Each structure stands twice: as structure tokens, then as C-alpha cells.
């Protein structure tokens, strides 16, 4: 049932919204002001991720910058100063409103200030207390441990090698390996039944603390919700805050200080437990070589080293430190890299087979020994005739890829793609259950704050039964259709630029060939191609920047309900654009270039310009060269950029923060540089996984769609991915700020994109074999004319028309099956080609469907575990076993009036 939403709608979950805010008991007290800690006290704790009380853990850091009044008066004119003052006043008001509501919601805070020569940097440390954490964990229905269970081998290769009795060279001893548990949704009033509930500091993982606090930050208002003045992300985009991030965790030890741990409210429990002191560097020092003394970040740093390239990934550590979304990325990338190994082996065997077949290839020998026997038609109106024997080396290179094994390798790669996706689906479901996120998108994912604030109606959720904000489908459909029109227009512009580049190359080649200068005539085609690529690249880069900004705007405009749907919609928009951009060149070479040229005496043209032809060595060779450039050159450039650009950016960011002199004493300067929030602020901002996924998905597309033209593509992809895993791991651990841990149920829409790619890939391979490769003409000639292929070259060459011969006074040949009157011959071969396409795709699709039917999505062992978890949850949460009464985890707390709120620019405070 739908109903219109009013301004006092109770079904809004925004933190701090007047009349319906959410507040917590332990944080409703007045702020406790503390004096500025002295240098000695701060220096002792400057490397610890805790407040100055040595106990309260830091869950999040908010950063903003201000310019001192005297400096702003000296630098700017009166008019600019007035504008800056008004902007600063608005930002200060928004910031104070935001922080007041965070304070009223019960968040512990402590502020530190770094004074520099030209600006003041404010660091606000945030911590969520136990009661807030319990409330949100129960609200989000997160699962917590009930009972530990023995770890099971998660790698099929490890199980197989152990069964065969073969030493596993990929195995490694990973210290502090997280345990596996039976879990169930958290209930605060059943706390005692959960495993480890007496240890508040370790009961919930660090990533859970970060996630909960970010949920609060994202849902906290600083203005009117109808104006989208909600959440820290909007404040970051408006430069009210310059950064927000959780701290990296390093080596830890326990403090002798103790604090209460049991019960939903820490202050009410008499049982003590020690605090944690994370400190030190992620690099392992000699005294920390013992595995038990390593932190999670140090364990992951060891995994990121180049010496671990052949070892299994510690995915549980990655998930525990970075969250499920990052862990799924590395799990998928590692799984894909492992599956590339058989494809690379078979592709390499096909390449080596081509080398041996090349020496006994009769058509190749005929071409190389023809000398002046075959004079070929000019490639353009002003180009000279050329001898077929001149392409001996190029044709020889093409035979490495175009031989009898091509059809086998095409079928193998088609079935490989189906098997890979089916087994990844199985692995993904197992990992989602193992990481307690298998039901995240259906029942646990929160609504986007912007959606909640702007929705005009409410509706009953058919799954949860709760009333929630709702956008009518017809209004969203209008926005989606409008966005689709914009996307189609942008894609059409890309196609127009591609056609323009083709025409540009043809015109420039003609002009240079007719210029009369020797070097211009000799290098006409090369100069035209290079300059055309540069011009096309500039246009594509400009369009890409515009399109990505448009995609962000359109996706926000569509008002998607959850963050997962928002990211899926954005990913689809950008991938379609990038697909057209990256694939336009190989698709043009494979299926269009040289197909509409005509023949001597009847050349076709477009806008008066002769159609572009393939090089003398056929389009198959050009396609192979294109793939080699993409799979080798482009990947090397990308990897160099992934190494160099983060290092340069990180150096420049640190230079900007540390180049100016700090005000104050020399000891304070040392303190600032040692503080963990300052050190993490110097790192780069994590910008998401879209670019990482896009690079690998495009790679998967190339090796499935065009692998016929380059059997070595899987090998180059395998080598690249071994490097990619190390580079990405190093960036996440060393160069980036710690990202906010995000839940995920898999790799999202990327899996649907991969599935969608496999279907046109089969059809593409069928067309490439039928019309680009010489495989079918070879077979036809063997069975109809001569099984030894003698005379095959002459069989594939047609004579120019009589009129053309009389006009040019020269007899020439060209590749086609036509008579000297220009009529098509060998319709039987055309029928064979079309029949091959139909048979090939039907056979591959049928075998693929059988594979899908045979491979179970859910392993039997996981079904047993699910049933066991349900039984334990029923036993643990049964009402007749409850010995503790339900304790309230939240209570009302008055919202600080913005008019009388605190001045967060100057105040120094904490909560204990």
C-alpha cells in the first residue's frame, strides 16, 4: 500500500531530524571539556589510534581547514574577502549543525589542531560507544558468532593436491588467521549467548565500528532534507570538510588500563577488560618477526610483496581489514587469474603448433617463392602496383595464429568462459555465506540517505514488512528514459568521431602520397595512422571526462533506492561508453575494414573518398597486431601508471601538507608528523574499485571476443594479472587511506556484464573463423580441388576487370572470389561459411547450457552449514533460555539547538 509522505513522517531514518531523531542513552550527557594535552602526554600517545584518555578507540576522523583571519586580510582584495567570508560563514554554520547533531546522537569526539604558516588544519576524532554500536548492529541485522567451527580448505586445488599427496607450493602459513563461525543475527537482549560477548573491544570487528559510524555520518542532517542537505558526502563535495577516513591499523599491544566490557552499556558493568593500543608501522621490523606480533596491516603487507605472487591470497584478512567489497574484488581477480592458467597453456600450445605448421605450409611457400608472378592492385588511386611476394614475412606471422587449431581453441575458450562464470558464481555464493553477507541486498542494505530525504511517498516492503520511503515508478521511468537518450547521444558522438578518424586517415594519406616529397610519400600511411590515433584519442579523452560527469549526474537524478543499485546503474552507463570506445577499433578492423572497398574498375567511395583497405597482409594480421598492442603495450603502460602515479600523487600530497613551516615549538612539529591521523591524511583518497574492475573486465572481453586472432592473449593477461594483484594490494595497504568498509554480496553488476559478454563472444568467434580466417577456404579447397593445397594462392586471387586492364594497360590481381566480369563465384563457400556460423554457435551454446545445468550453484557442504546455523540460532535465541531482561539500547536525548550550538572551530572536548 502506498501513501503520500508528510513533513512529519515517522518513517525517516535520518539522524538528528527534528521530531523523529534517533538518540542514545550513553551519549546524552553534557560535553566534558578538557584542557589542551601537554606535549609530553601527547608525544607518548601520538602513534596510538586512541583518544588522549588512552582508552577510547578512534573510529573515524573528520578534517577541515581554515585560513587565519590576519592572513586572509593580507592576501585578498576587499571584494574577494567579502565573498570568502560569506562562504566561510555558510560552511561554518553547516559544519556546526552537522557536528551538533552528531554530538546529540551520542558520538564521542576529540579535536586536535595543526597550525601551519598559511592555514589551520582541524582533526576531529570520532568514536561510537558500545550502546550506539549495539543499536545499529541489531537494526542492520548483522550476524555475530555463535560457535566456532574447524576451518575448511577453501581452495579446490589445495584439496586435490592433498588428496594426490603432492606438496602444495601455493600454500603459505598466514599468521593470526581469522576463525570460521556459525552465526546468527545480533540481538542485544541475547548478548550473553554470543561467542566472545564479554570482550567489547573485539566482539565486533574494527571494520564494523567504521561501518556503523559511517552509517551515522551519511544519514546526519545539517540543513533541510528536502534540499538534500544530508550526509557527510555532500559536505565533502561542498568543501565543508576536506577529508573523512578511518585510520589504518598497525601493531598492537594491550594496555594495563582496564574498562568495563559486559552488558549493553559499558558504565554499568563491573567486569574489566584491557584496551588496545595499535601503533607502529606496517613494515615488519626485526623484533616483530614473530607471527603472533604482526598486525593485520603487516600481514597484508607481507602478502603484497612480490615474493608471494604464487601463494594463495589471505582473503579472510583482506575482508577483516578492508571489508567485503574489497575482499570480493581480490577474490574475483585471484579466481580469474587462476582460471587464466589453463587458457594460457592451451593458447601457448596453439601458438607453438602454428610455428611448426608454418614451415610446411604450402600457401605460404607459394607466396614467398612467387617473385613477380602475382602483381596486386594498388591500395589507393595514386599508389603503385605491388608484388604478392613482398608480404612473405607478414603472411608468415599470420600463419602463427591462423591454422587448423584455431577452431579447437575457439570452442575451448567459449566453454572456458562458461565454466569460469559458473564456478565463480558457486565460489561467490560460498564466500558471501562465509562472510555473512548472502542476504545483504535483500534485507540488510540501508536506503540511501538522499533517497530517504527526497522520497514523496511510503510503501510496505514486501520482504521486511516495514514501511519505507518510495518513489513512484512512473516518475523514475521518465528520468531513466531521459538519461538513456543522453547516453545514446554520447555513444553516437563516439561513433561519429571514429568515422571522422577513418576519413581523416584516408584524406591525409592521399594528400601526403600526392605531395611529391619522398619521405611524405614513403610514410604517408604511417603518418596518417599515427596522427589519426592522436586526434581520436584527444576527442575520446574529452568525451570521457564529460560523459563520466554526466553519468554521475544522471545516476543521482534517477534516485536509486540503495547504494548497490546506484553503483550498478552508474557502472552500466560508464561501461557501455567505455565498451564502445575501446572496442570500436578492433570491431572495425575485424568486421568492416576492407569489406566495402569494391574491386578494380568498380571502387566504392564515401563522400568521394576511397574506402580504407586492410594492409597487404590481410585484416586478420591487423587484428592480431591490434590485440598485441592492447594486451602487451597498453597493459605495460597501465601497470607503469599504477606504480608511478600513486607515488607521485602521494609525494605531492605530503609535500603540500608538510612543506610549510608549522607554527609553535619544534616539539609540536614532530608530534604532528607522528600523529596517526596526520600520517593517514597524507595518503591518497580511495576512489573506489570501478577503474580496477573496468580494466580487468575489458581484458576478459578482449580474450573472449577476439582471442581467435591472438592465442597468446590469455598468457599476456595472466602475466598482467599476477602483477596487477601485487600493485593493487600495495596501493591499498601503503598508498591509500583506509577505505570505509562496505558490505557486498558479490561483484555486483560486473557479473551480469561478464555473462552478457560471453554470448556475443561466441558469435564473434564464429564470424571471425568464417569470414576473416583462411580455415574454411583451406578445408573447401582440400576436399574439392587438391588435398595438398597446391595452387591455393592462385585459387583465392581474382583478375581485375577487362575495362580496368585496358585503361591501366596492366593485368593485376586482388583477393576475392569473382570472375573477370566482377560477378561473385563460389556461392558454395559462402553457404559453408553461413552454415558453419549456425552450427558453431548452436553446439557451443548447447554444451554451455549442459555445463550450467551440471554445475550446482550452492555446494552441498554449504547447505549443511546453513541448516546447522539455523538450528544453533533457534537454540540460542529461544525465549525459554533468556536469563537477562531486555535492556534499552537507546533513549531520548535532546538535539542541540543550532542557535546555541557549540563553536566547533575553537572547542576542545572529549567524551568518556
Mention every residue, 6+ apart, whose C-beta is less than 8 A from residue 302.
Answer: 284, 294, 308
Is the distance from CB of 194 to CB of 145 less than 8 angstroms? yes
Helices (runs of H) and strands (runs of E) counted in the chain: 31, 21
> Within 10 A of 537 (CB to CB), how many other CB atoms are there?
11
Is the distance from CB of 429 to CB of 125 less than 8 angstroms? no
pLDDT value for 433: 83
pLDDT value for 335: 92
Q: Which residues pair with 116 in a beta bridge?
A: 662
User: Could you tell me the three cell numbers for 799?
Assistant: 583478375
User: Could you tell me the three cell numbers for 574?
Assistant: 560508464
Nearest to 581 by CA among 484, 635, 501: 501
**How far is Cα of residue 439 from the mean position of the Cα atoms in its chain?**
22
Is the distance from CB of 275 to CB of 201 less than 8 angstroms? yes
Please spell the DSSP secondary structure of 773-838, one letter per residue: SSHHHHHHHHHHT-TT-TTHHHHHEEEPPHHHHHHHT---EEESSB-TTS-B--HHHHHHHHHHHH
Nearest to 299 by CA among 278, 321, 277: 321
Mention every residue, 6+ apart, whose C-beta is less than 8 A from residue 442.
Answer: 463
Nearest to 762 by CA among 711, 808, 799, 708: 708
Mention every residue, 6+ apart, whose C-beta is less than 8 A from residue 714.
Answer: 340, 343, 344, 346, 347, 413, 703, 707
CA pair distance 188, 634, nearest whole angstrom: 53
pLDDT value for 664: 44
pLDDT value for 617: 61
Indicate the helix (H) or strand (E) that contains 602. strand 602-603
pLDDT value for 906: 56
DSSP 171: -
The pLDDT averaged over each successive group of 10 residues in the chain (912 residues) is 47 41 33 39 56 84 81 56 72 86 86 80 88 83 77 67 74 75 78 79 83 86 68 83 85 40 33 37 56 73 82 86 91 92 92 86 84 78 76 80 84 91 89 81 70 72 69 75 81 80 76 68 69 73 79 81 83 86 81 74 67 69 79 78 78 64 42 70 86 90 87 90 90 88 86 90 88 85 86 84 76 80 79 90 89 78 72 60 43 42 54 40
| Cα-only R_g, the chain | 33
Is the distance from CB of 387 to CB of 371 less than 8 angstroms? yes
pLDDT value for 8: 43
542, with CB counted inside 10 A (0-12, 13-18, 19+), is: exposed
Mention every residue, 6+ apart, whose C-beta is less than 8 A from residue 845.
Answer: 762
Mention every residue, 6+ apart, whose C-beta is less than 8 A from residue 182.
Answer: 145, 146, 147, 149, 865, 868, 869, 872
pLDDT value for 878: 59
Question: Measured between alpha carbons, how far is residue 690 from residues 83, 259, 490, 816 in Å?
Answer: 37, 42, 20, 45
Amino acid at each position: 500500500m502506498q501513501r503520500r509522505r508528510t513533513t512529519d513522517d515517522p518513517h525517516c531514518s535520518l539522524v538528528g531530524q527534528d521530531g523523529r531523531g534517533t538518540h542514545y542513552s550513553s551519549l546524552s550527557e553534557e560535553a566534558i571539556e578538557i584542557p589542551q594535552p601537554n606535549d609530553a602526554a601527547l608525544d607518548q600517545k601520538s602513534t596510538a589510534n586512541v583518544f588522549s584518555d588512552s582508552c577510547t578507540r578512534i573510529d573515524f576522523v573528520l578534517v577541515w581547514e581554515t585560513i587565519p583571519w590576519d592572513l586572509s586580510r593580507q592576501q585578498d582584495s576587499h571584494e574577494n574577502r567579502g565573498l570568502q567570508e560569506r562562504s566561510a560563514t555558510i560552511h561554518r554554520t553547516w559544519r556546526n549543525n552537522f557536528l551538533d547533531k552528531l554530538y546529540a546522537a551520542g558520538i564521542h569526539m576529540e579535536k586536535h589542531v595543526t597550525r601551519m604558516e598559511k592555514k589551520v588544519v582541524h582533526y576531529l576524532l570520532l568514536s561510537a560507544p558500545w550502546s550506539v554500536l549495539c543499536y545499529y548492529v541489531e537494526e542492520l541485522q548483522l550476524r555475530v558468532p555463535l560457535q566456532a567451527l574447524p576451518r575448511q580448505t577453501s581452495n579446490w586445488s589445495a584439496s586435490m593436491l592433498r588428496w594426490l599427496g603432492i606438496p602444495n607450493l601455493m600454500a603459505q602459513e598466514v599468521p593470526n588467521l581469522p576463525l570460521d563461525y556459525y552465526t546468527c543475527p545480533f540481538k542485544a537482549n541475547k548478548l550473553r549467548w554470543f561467542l566472545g560477548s564479554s570482550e567489547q573491544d573485539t566482539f565486533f570487528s574494527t571494520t564494523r565500528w567504521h561501518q556503523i559510524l559511517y552509517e551515522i555520518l551519511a544519514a546526519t542532517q545539517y540543513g533541510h532534507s528536502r534540499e538534500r542537505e544530508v550526509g557527510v558526502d555532500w559536505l565533502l563535495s561542498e568543501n565543508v570538510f576536506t577529508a573523512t577516513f578511518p585510520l589504518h591499523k598497525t601493531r598492537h599491544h594491550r594496555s594495563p588500563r582496564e574498562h568495563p566490557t559486559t552488558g549493553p552499556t559499558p558504565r554499568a558493568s563491573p567486569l574489566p577488560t584491557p584496551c588496545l593500543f595499535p601503533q607502529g608501522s606496517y613494515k615488519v621490523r626485526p623484533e616483530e618477526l614473530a607471527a603472533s606480533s604482526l598486525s593485520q596491516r603487516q600481514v597484508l603487507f607481507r602478502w603484497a610483496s612480490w615474493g608471494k605472487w604464487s601463494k594463495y591470497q589471505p582473503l579472510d584478512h583482506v575482508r577483516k581489514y578492508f571489508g567485503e567489497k574489497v575482499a570480493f574484488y581480490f577474490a574475483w581477480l585471484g579466481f580469474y587469474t587462476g582460471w587464466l592458467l589453463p587458457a594460457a597453456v592451451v593458447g601457448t600450445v596453439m601458438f607453438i603448433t602454428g610455428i611448426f605448421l608454418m614451415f610446411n605450409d604450402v600457401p605460404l611457400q607459394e607466396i614467398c617463392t612467387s617473385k613477380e608472378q602475382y602483381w596486386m592492385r594498388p591500395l589507393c588511386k595514386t599508389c603503385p602496383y605491388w608484388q604478392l611476394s613482398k608480404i612473405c614475412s607478414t603472411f608468415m606471422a599470420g600463419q602463427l595464429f591462423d591454422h587448423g587449431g584455431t577452431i579447437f581453441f575457439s570452442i575451448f575458450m567459449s566453454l572456458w568462459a562458461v565454466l569460469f562464470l559458473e564456478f565463480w558464481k558457486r565460489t561467490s555464493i560460498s564466500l558471501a555465506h562465509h562472510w555473512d553477507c548472502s542476504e545483504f541486498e535483500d534485507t540488510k542494505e540501508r536506503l540511501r540517505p538522499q533517497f530517504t530525504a527526497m522520497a514523496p511517498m511510503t510503501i510496505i516492503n514486501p520482504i521486511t514488512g516495514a514501511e519505507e520511503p518510495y518513489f513512484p515508478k512512473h516518475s523514475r521511468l521518465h528520468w531513466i528514459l531521459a538519461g538513456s537518450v543522453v547516453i545514446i547521444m554520447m555513444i553516437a558522438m563516439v561513433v561519429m568521431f571514429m568515422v571522422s578518424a577513418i576519413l581523416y586517415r584516408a584524406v591525409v594519406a592521399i594528400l601526403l602520397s600526392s605531395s611529391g616529397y619522398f619521405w611524405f610519400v614513403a610514410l604517408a600511411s604511417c603518418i596518417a595512422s599515427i596522427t589519426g590515433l592522436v586526434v581520436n584519442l584527444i576527442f575520446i579523452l574529452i568525451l570521457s571526462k564529460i560523459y563520466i560527469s554526466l553519468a554521475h549526474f544522471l545516476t543521482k537524478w534517477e534516485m536509486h533506492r540503495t547504494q548497490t543499485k546506484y553503483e550498478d546503474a552508474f557502472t552500466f552507463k560508464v561501461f557501455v561508453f567505455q565498451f564502445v570506445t575501446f572496442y570500436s577499433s578492433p570491431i572495425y578492423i575485424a568486421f568492416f575494414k576492407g569489406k566495402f572497398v569494391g574491386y578494380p574498375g568498380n571502387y566504392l567511395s564515401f563522400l568521394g573518398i576511397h574506402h580504407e583497405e586492410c594492409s597487404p597482409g590481410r585484416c586478420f594480421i591487423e587484428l592480431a597486431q591490434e590485440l598485441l598492442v592492447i594486451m602487451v603495450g597498453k597493459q605495460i603502460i597501465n601497470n607503469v601508471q599504477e606504480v608511478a602515479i600513486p607515488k607521485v600523487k602521494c609525494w605531492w600530497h605530503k609535500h603540500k601538507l608538510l612543506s610549510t613551516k608549522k607554527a609553535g615549538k619544534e616539539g609540536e612539529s614532530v608530534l604532528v608528523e607522528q600523529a596517526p591521523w596526520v600520517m593517514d591524511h597524507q595518503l591518497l583518497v580511495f576512489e573506489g574499485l570501478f577503474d580496477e574492475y573496468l580494466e580487468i573486465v575489458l581484458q576478459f572481453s578482449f580474450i573472449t571476443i577476439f582471442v581467435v586472432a591472438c592465442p597468446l592473449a590469455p598468457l599476456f593477461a595472466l602475466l598482467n594479472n599476477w602483477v596487477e594483484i601485487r600493485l593493487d594490494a600495495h596501493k591499498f595497504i601503503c598508498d591509500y587511506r583506509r577505505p570505509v568498509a562496505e558490505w557486498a554480496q558479490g561483484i555486483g553488476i560486473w557479473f551480469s556484464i561478464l555473462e552478457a559478454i560471453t554470448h556475443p563472444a561466441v558469435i564473434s568467434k564464429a564470424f571471425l573463423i568464417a569470414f576473416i580466417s583462411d580455415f574454411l577456404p583451406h578445408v573447401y579447397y582440400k576436399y574439392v580441388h587438391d588435398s595438398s593445397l597446391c595452387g591455393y594462392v592462385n585459387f583465392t586471387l581474382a583478375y581485375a576487370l577487362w575495362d580496368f586492364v585496358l585503361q591501366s594497360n596492366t593485368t593485376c590481381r586482388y583477393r576475392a572470389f569473382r570472375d573477370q566480369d566482377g560477378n561473385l563465384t563460389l556461392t558454395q563457400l559462402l553457404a559453408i561459411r553461413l552454415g558453419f556460423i549456425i552450427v558453431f554457435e548452436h553446439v557451443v551454446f548447447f554444451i554451455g547450457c549442459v555445463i550450467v545445468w551440471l554445475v550446482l550453484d550452492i555446494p552441498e557442504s554449504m547447505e549443511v552449514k546453513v541448516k546447522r546455523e539455523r538450528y544453533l540460532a533457534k537454540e540460542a535465541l529461544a525465549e525459554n533460555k533468556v536469563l537477562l531482561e531486555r535492556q534499552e539500547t537507546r533513549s531520548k536525548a535532546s538535539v542541540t539547538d543550532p542557535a546555541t550550538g557549540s563553536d566547533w572551530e575553537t572547542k576542545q572536548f572529549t567524551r568518556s
